[in-house]
């Protein structure tokens, strides 16, 4: 059975990830192109969703705040 993966949904919280690339912005113009996503947060993404859906900025900001990261 193939599960439908929606690349516009954050794999951590399930909300809209506001992916600029999916919205047609030129490569490198998405908000995520200008920040570093912590590896620890990337590791929380379920294996079947890795590299298929972007983590949203809210989850990145929350993770950084909870782990006292810049």
CA distance 55 to 36: 11
Q: Are 19 and 42 in contact (CB under 8 A)?
A: no
The domain containing residue 22 runs over which residues? 1-70
Query: What is the model's pTM?
Result: 0.86
Q: pLDDT per residue over 6-61, tens digit each?
A: 999 999 999 999 988 888 888 888 888 889 999 999 999 999 999 999 999 999 99
Spatial CB neighbours of 49, under 8 Å, sequence gap ≥ 6 = 5, 11
Q: Are 21 and 59 in contact (CB under 8 A)?
A: no
DSSP 69: -
Alpha helices by DSSP H, listed for the chain, are 39-42, 57-66
| Number of domains comprising the chain | 1
């Amino acid at each position: 059975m193939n599960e439908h993966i929606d690349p516009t949904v954050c794999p951590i919280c399930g909300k809209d990830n506001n992916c600029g690339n999916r919205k047609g912005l030129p490569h490198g113009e998405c908000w995520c192109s200008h920040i570093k996503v912590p590896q620890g947060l990337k590791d929380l993404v379920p294996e079947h969703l890795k590299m298929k859906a972007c983590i949203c900025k809210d989850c990145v900001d929350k993770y950084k705040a909870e782990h006292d990261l810049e």
